[in-house]
Structure 1
Amino acid sequence: MHHPSISIILLNYNTSQLTLHCVESIRNHTQWPNYEIVVVDNNSRYEDYLKLEPLRDIPNLTLVRSRINLGFSGGNMMGVQYADPETDYYYFLNNDCLLLNDVCTILATFMEQHPNAGIVGAQMFKPNRELRYSFGYFPSLGLKYLGHGFMKWYRPEQHPALKAYQEPLEVPFIMGSTLFIRATDFREVSGFDITHFLYVEEEDLARKMHAIGKVLYLVPEAEYIHLEGQSTAPCYEIIREYHISLFHYFRKHHSYPAVVLFQLFYAFKNGKKFYKHRNFSRLALFILKGCPMGESLRYRQKISIQ
């Protein structure tokens, strides 16, 4: 029986132990006979990168190091360049994830049976096995100004209930910690938009997939744990980076008047919490300024000599 090829791409940034555990979970659970793993070190501290060296002894695993932090989109696109150019599927998996079952076989089989599927995702859990939502809704003016309840009633097909599912479900977009993608579709839409440094990549990619007529699915039979927050520590600059990506997405997919309304909503949402911490006021002013891309962390990266 012919088995299509799968290229599993992981990013490492100063979290080598997580990467090693993730690779171990892939190898322990994956029965699919035709897969490779590409690990991209996103310019970690050199001592952290060196801890990944044992991976070079694993068959069908490629370890590469970028001398500059390319962010999520850029790092994954670098991984694509080192993957088999004729691969059938890409599986972009966060390194702070642990597979609970044979996710690759389940998702690849589903994709083979559903030619209309562009991206599929597994069911996400917290480390204590508590359910986490594996899909989300596209940010819209309706959601922001009218609320989730109204939009679920008004457009239920675009806002499926956030709950546990037993059967595959069409969803707006899959969370970026686990994106299983048909390679031909990924190439057709030019992959990730590398302007996004850390956030909102999955929403953007999903919009591009919908534009070519593809459907996105949650496949709950496939299960994984996501140790969210382990690879990126929350701080004001990270929160600001999220808004830079978010408003790049808005400018790309919405009209100018809509972008202005989004600005007003997010500025007010943060500004009204000024008494809790001064960062809320700083963020509100930054949003009113337009969240300029020129202030992204992308432009503070330094080239490593190692």
Structure 2
Amino acid sequence: MSTLAIVILTYNGQKFLADFLPAVLAHADSNPVYVADSASTDNSVPFVRANFPAVRIIELPRNEGYAGGYNAALAHLRANYELPTYYVLLNSDVEVTPGWLRPVQTLMDTNPNIVACQPKIRSYQQRDLFEHAGAAGGFVDWLGYVFCRGRVFATFETDHGQYNDNRRVFWATGACLFVRADVFHETGGFDASFFAHMEEIDWCWRVQRLGYEVWACGESTVYHVGGGTLQKSNPQKTYLNYRNSLLMLYKNWPADGWLWGKILFRLLLDGASSVLFLKAGQWRDVLAIIRAHFAFYARLPQLHRQRRALQQQQTATIQLFAKSIVWQYFVKGKKTFGEIV
């Protein structure tokens, strides 16, 4: 049985596969590499088959985003191959480095309670800066807003070794996510209704409620292009981020928390962010935020059932970041993780 399986989910990502798959294969340490294709129309599957015969291809019937796509791909892998100890969920637009696997695997081997872990994520374009998607490990504040060591909102720190430690975090990024395979399947995988964005944060929140841990490994580094499927300025990405943040908050917030007060506060703050989009002429993003809130309200009956089920399963108490990251960043002017904590 292989200890580790690298699984790359792709949709119309032939260019990224051509650019980055050779390094993945060169630094796979003899572990199998899978490409799970979400019904691409850009010749991705024939291209991989012709140029990378060592890669195992999983052809999915449709594009179900990151969440549903990985759920289907890993279910196929479990049914047709030997189950590894770890999956590495790797975006197609990530450049790996020599020795990137071993430090994370060693950390997880040392502590069996770690079920999710990430390396440091730096920018492919500006290689000394941390990248938006995960940076050096993420956290969630008491209103459900997410931020990272190395990246808070639009401030990206230069990596000069300040996050080279291995430490527990609240969430690890889906751009390069190591997970224990058995726990992933036992917990039902990602919430497919998220489609894309924040599904990995939701899953990290859920597994911590069961007593597991999430870590970041500062001894490993990869480089992420970012925006490979949806550009950062895409209104659909705005919609998914705002909607999924609310879905995640409602599902996972503790039973004794001031939930509806937080939802109301989020409505006001999201409205304020809409004003900023409007001033920048990005009216489509404003409409995306409005759509996100209505989609959240429409999902409340289903979310309530999920919330009750999760509360019944919970065995551990977890602690979110106690301060408001919005207040710290925009009002107090604290722009980096070190200043805020």
TM-score (norm 2): 0.72
The letter for the 2-side match of 1:136 is G
Specify the alignment match of 2:56 in structure 1. Answer: 62
Q: Rate the CA distance shift 1:228–1:270 in 2: closer, same or farther, 3 A.
A: same
- Per-residue deviation, 1:142: 8.2
| C-alpha contact 2:194 2:240 (8 A) present in aligned 1 | no
> Distance in 2 between the 1:229 and 1:235 partners?
9
Asked whether the equivalents of residues 267 and 283 of structure 1 are also in contact (C-alpha less than 8 Å), the reply is: no
Unaligned regions of 5+ residues in structure 2, if any?
149-159, 254-258, 300-341
Q: 2 CA distance for matches of 1:56 and 1:97?
A: 17
| Alpha-carbon separation, structure 2, partners of 1:19 and 1:192 | 24
**How many pairs are equivalent?**
274
Write the mapping of 1:1-306 to structure 2, written as runs, cut at 5 A. Answer: 5-31=3-29, 33=30, 35-54=31-50, 57-58=53-54, 61-83=55-77, 84-127=81-124, 128-132=126-130, 133-141=135-143, 164-233=162-231, 234-254=233-253, 255-277=259-281, 278-291=283-296
Question: Larger RCO: Structure 1 or Structure 2 (Cα < 8 Å, ≥ 6 residues apart)?
Answer: 1
Distance 1:171 1:184, change over 3 A: same
Query: Partners of 1:54 and 1:139 in 2: how far apart?
Result: 47
Shift of the alpha carbon at 1:247? 2.0
Q: For residues 165-200 of structure 1, give each alpha carbon's deviation from its aligned partner in whole angstroms, at most 9, with x where no partner exists.
A: 222111111121011011222223211111111111
Q: Structure 1 residue 225: deviation in Å?
A: 0.7
Q: Are the equivalent residues in 2 in contact too, given 1:248–1:293 (CA < 8 A)?
A: no
Contact 1:10–1:38, Cα closer than 8 Å, also in 2: yes
Which amino acid letter does the alignment assign opposite residue 229 of structure 2?
S
Percent identity between the two aligned chains:
18
CA RMSD of aligned residues (A): 2.8
Structure 1 Cα separation of the partners of residues 263 and 295 of structure 2: 9
Give 5+ residue unaligned stretches, structure 1. Answer: 149-161, 295-306
Equivalent-residue separation in structure 2 for 1:94 and 1:194 (angstroms)? 17
- SS of 2:271's equivalent in the other structure is helix
SS of residue matched to 1:176: coil
Q: What's the TM-score, normalizing by structure 1?
A: 0.80
Structure 2 counterpart of 1:29, one-letter code: H
Secondary structure of 2:20's partner?
helix
